[in-house]
Structure 1
Amino acid sequence: MGNVTEFMLDELRLLRSAQKLSQDEFGRRINYSASHVSAVETGQRPPTADYLTAVDGAFGTGGVFCRMLTRLAKLDNAPVWLREWIECEQEATTLRWFELAYLPGLLQTERYARATLSGGRFTADEIERNVASRLARQAILDRDDPPQLVVVIDGGILTRPVLDAPGLMAEQFDLLIARAESEHVQVHVVPRDTGMYLGLAGQFIIAEFTDGRRVAHADNQLNAQITEAPVDIARLARTWEIVRNEALPRRQSIELIKEVAKTWN
């Protein structure tokens, strides 16, 4: 995936070139100086919302540059290592997600997300940036063409308390149930009495795209790995099938989640 900022600057330059305008002529069309246009195109000045609104208005681009800025803002809240994966999430048609320790980030409330990041691994500023990024990523589930999200979680996640946070789990279960009952979201639970199974090796996600391409994500305490290597994808796909077969069907999983939710209210 390319850098989103560079992509937007390339598109601005291509637009001006397609219109056969000098920087001075382009600037006059959007009421900015030629030096300002030059500074934006070379990355010396950020393309602000006002600047991009003027471009969209002057050239009838349908708001595309403002939308690019919104996406960029979401990415800028994310850690550098996560930005490539966020691009994958936004473009994927299907996400197959296994979680061992926490609920998936796309299904977390703000308080739950903050709790998963607390404990000393991150600074206070890093926690706030990561929480903002995680919540912004959830917008893909509410758009007109959301990806199909298929989640398998270890049953222990449902009963693990967040200490000194009254009401947090009840709030989280309300969101989890609402999401799980959406047409484009499936949540499956591996029962706690399953014993040892292949998923205990750790979390992973497989993203699929319209062209059939697949990208996988896995992380640990130190780093995250994103791979398109066919051998790695094939191994994770086999693991997914094995883990998925250990989980309850969708309807039974929702019933289990609702039963556990009663214990948190």
Structure 2
Amino acid sequence: MANVSRQAAWEFFGAELKRLREAADLTQAELGVRVFVSGGYIGQFEQAIRKPQLDVAQRIDETLQTDGIFERMWRKLINDTRYAEYFAHVVDLERTATKICEFAPTVVPGLLQTAEYARAVTIAANPFVTDEYVEEKVSARLERAVILKDATRPEYWAVLHESTLRIAVGGPAAMAGQLDHIAELMRDRTAMVMVIPFAAGAHASMLGDLRLMEFEDAPPTAYTETSFSGTLLDDPAVVKRARRAYDLIGAVALSPKASLTLIESAAEDFRRCTRTT
């Protein structure tokens, strides 16, 4: 589904929610209490600013006695087989974020990946799948990165561990191309990337993958991910703790200028490998 039609469908979701809420003679605050979110969140759902999680859609159905209509719409809109179920909602939020901050300790974040790197990562995790499956995943990843080229692109920050720069994902040539791509985004001021060097030792980055997202008209969120699952967090206290963790990660990273120099040096190291093999 194209972004425009998907957004229109979410606007229909919100319009129906407002219509049925008012038919039940409930204010946004009253409905929020019954489905365990704030009245402000209900307003954001109705304006299609924010999308509810599945359990919230289910509770709305129960409260408004809608015979599961909101759950069915949610599943239709969120279900994108190109993404893991736990990540599809995050992709939707990405498109409306005004700022994205990521930390990736072992793999280049998806928004920064080249096709060759994404292909190698996909095959490594799924060695028995078809070429069609691989290319579908690669295409979806590159499609996500389009947001960094938009005129209204989010402010994008990423912190990588040096180990991410040194693993030859896809081979030396592919890795050199990947690092060149990151360096180009930095030089173009499309992305602010910092690197934690091996010399930093123990630090807060050992907590795993972390992503923070901020929005124009909605509260910030945090997203954490392991190999087989991800968790979207929007509790203000938890998001605040995640923000502090990200700040601690950045505190031990190299400056953007020094990080760019390291990334360019690592790319040249991989190029030398291709010339000697």
Larger Rg: 1
**Residue-by-residue CA offset, 1:104-155 (whole Å, 9 max, x unaligned):** 1111111101212223447335433322211100000111111010110001
Q: CA 1:201 to 1:255, structure 2 compared with 1: closer, same or farther past 3 Å?
A: same
- Contact preservation (8 Å) 2:177, 2:267: no
- Contact preservation (8 Å) 1:74, 1:136: no
Alpha-carbon separation, structure 1, partners of 2:177 and 2:7: 40
The Cα of 1:5 is off from its aligned counterpart by 4.9
After TM superposition, the score normalised by the length of structure 2 is 0.67
> What code does the residue aligned with 2:245 have?
T
Q: Which runs of 5+ in 2 are unaligned?
A: 16-76, 272-277
Task: Indicate the residue corresponding to 2:71 in structure 1.
Answer: none
The Cα of 1:78 is off from its aligned counterpart by 2.8
Alignment of 1:13-162 (within 5 A): 75=80, 77-121=82-126, 123-124=129-130, 125-162=132-169
Q: Which of these residues, 220, 224, 231, is aligned with residue 230 of structure 2?
A: 224
- Contact preservation (8 Å) 2:121, 2:169: no
- Contact preservation (8 Å) 2:78, 2:89: no
SS at match of 2:213: strand
Whether 1:247 and 2:253 are equivalent positions in the alignment is yes
Alpha-carbon separation, structure 1, partners of 2:166 and 2:124: 19
Q: CA 1:134 to 1:116, structure 2 compared with 1: closer, same or farther past 3 Å?
A: same
> What code does the residue aligned with 1:263 have?
D
The Cα of 1:11 is off from its aligned counterpart by 4.6
Alpha-carbon separation, structure 2, partners of 1:246 and 1:219: 22
The Cα of 1:159 is off from its aligned counterpart by 0.9
Q: CA 1:177 to 1:217, structure 2 compared with 1: closer, same or farther past 3 Å?
A: same
After TM superposition, the score normalised by the length of structure 1 is 0.69
- Contact preservation (8 Å) 2:223, 2:232: yes
SS at match of 1:145: coil
SS at match of 2:222: strand
Task: Indicate the residue corresponding to 1:178 in structure 2.
Answer: 184
Whether 1:259 and 2:260 are equivalent positions in the alignment is no
Q: CA 1:93 to 1:255, structure 2 compared with 1: closer, same or farther past 3 Å?
A: same
> What code does the residue aligned with 1:80 have?
E
Task: Indicate the residue corresponding to 2:9 in structure 1.
Answer: 8
- Contact preservation (8 Å) 1:170, 1:264: yes
SS at match of 2:95: helix
SS at match of 2:216: coil
- Contact preservation (8 Å) 1:75, 1:86: no
Q: Which runs of 5+ in 1 are unaligned?
A: 15-71
SS at match of 1:183: coil
Alignment of 1:198-217 (within 5 A): 198-211=204-217, 213-217=219-223
Alpha-carbon separation, structure 1, partners of 2:162 and 2:90: 26
Larger mean CA deviation between 137-146 and 175-184 belongs to 175-184
- Contact preservation (8 Å) 1:147, 1:184: no
**Residue-by-residue CA offset, 1:4-36 (whole Å, 9 max, x unaligned):** 759528659x8xxxxxxxxxxxxxxxxxxxxxx
CA RMSD of aligned residues (A): 2.6
- Contact preservation (8 Å) 1:115, 1:162: yes
Larger mean CA deviation between 223-232 and 165-174 belongs to 165-174
SS at match of 2:124: coil
